Amino acid sequence: MKVLYKALFISSLVLAGCSDDVDIYEPNPLVDIDNQFETKEVWSTDIGDGNDDITVKNSPVYAYDKIFVADGSGAVAAVNPEDGEIIWRNELDVAIGGGPAVASNLVAVGTQDGELIVLSADDGALKWRKPLTSEVISSPAIGEGHVVVRTVDGKVTAFDASSGDEKWVYDQSIPALTLRGVSSPVIVGGGVISGFSNGKLAVFLLANGRVAWEKTITAPVGSSEIQKLVDVDVKPLVAGNTIFVASYNGNLANIQAQNGEVIWQRELSTFQELTLSELMLLVTHENSHVSGVDRSNGIILWTQKDLYRRQLTAPVSLGDYIAVGDFEGYIHWLSRRDGTLVSREHIDSSGFGGTPIVVDDKLILLSHSGTLYAVKKT
């Protein structure tokens, strides 16, 4: 299996027939804007030393009145959301590629060495750790007495949450060439939902790993391996009895959770997580355009194009605004109404990769250098 690093692959493509000096995938320079408000740093906390692999996008999680975060260098921590003080930290001394997942009073992370590690959410103490068949670069899932993890070789593995005993393994064949990314599984209603590098979404029975149904989100087309890239790397977004999902070089879709029937589907390429904001679905395209999509029918309501190729994070909604981070460490604020850029602030020169979260009125982001930030608009 050959793997393409998303940021490097996308930024290196040059339009055929253009001058060697012209790269149409060069990130847009920052446009001039008059900030409608400022972004104030409330606190910052060093979690670890970060990770040179910018395709690793560990995202903070808010649970049990704490912020849980995993740094690529191996540190897992629980942080006080009010002042950034570390409540506990466990130095695992192994590169963390996925997580944390937090539920059932457990914290789960996956490593780039191919290991699943589960800690206590109370104090960070080790509960159990198990070897896997390949590296992990997406968050595991915890729920209904299980911990489920995806590995880059196409396997989905379920473990007993208490004992760490392996319950079942599903092995999905994957294409010869894939993006370096993996869909995080979701546990809900006795099932496990996961996307795959062959453009498919599948639902498994949590009890035994049998396939309940699978659906092709995007079928590979074209004459070259690159044209056939259709990875479903986004975490399936469950809303009621439907699932929102998208693929690279393919489609954004809303699907019935019970049987995989398509409610609506439209062309849209992304590998970033999807976000719901009331009646709108927020999407960062693979080229870093940002769109607001009508969740009921898939119609694009607006698209912000000024941040082209700035390697944006997934968007997150905070009141009347939408925030995204970029590869240079800027936070960009957009109007939720029409996507207009309304404010910008530089925070960390190493840049942001994981999906931000909102805790009360604060935006929480983890930088590539391993610093956790809480900011708010003023």
Of 175, 259, 263, 189, nearest to 219 by C-alpha is 175
User: Which pLDDT value is given to residue 5?
Assistant: 56
Tokens 């805790």, located at residue: 359
Q: What is the mean pLDDT of residues 337-354?
A: 97
What are the strands, taking DSSP E only, across 151-304? Answer: 155-160, 166-171, 177-179, 186-188, 191-195, 200-205, 211-216, 237-239, 242-246, 251-256, 262-267, 275-277, 280-284, 290-294, 300-304
Is residue 178 within 8 Å of 4, Cβ to Cβ? yes
The full 3-state SS of 311-337, as one line of letters, equals CCCCCEEECCEEEEECCCCEEEEEECC
**pLDDT (tens digit per residue) in 126-147:** 999 999 999 999 999 999 999 9
pLDDT band for 326, please (50, 70, 90 cuts): very high
Integer Cα distance of 169 and 192 in angstroms: 12
Half-sphere exposure of 285 (CA within 13 A, CB side): 23
- Please compute Rg for the chain using Cα positions: 20
Q: Where are the domains of the chain?
A: 28-55+274-378
Query: pLDDT tier at 296 (50, 70, 90 boundaries)?
Result: very high
| Domain 28-55+274-378 classification at class level | mainly beta
Mean pLDDT estimate for the chain? 93
Query: Angle at Cα 197 formed by Cα 196 and Cα 203, nearest 5°?
Result: 10
How is residue 348 written in tokens? Answer: 């960390």
Whether residue 19 is predicted with pLDDT greater than 50 in this model: the reply is no
Q: Which pTM value belongs to this model?
A: 0.93
| Direct distance between the N- and C-terminal alpha carbons of the chain, in angstroms, rounded to an integer | 48
Asked if residue 12 has pLDDT above 60, the reply is: no
pLDDT at 281 over 70: yes
Share of the chain above pLDDT 70, in %: 94
DSSP β-bridge partners for residue 243: 238, 255
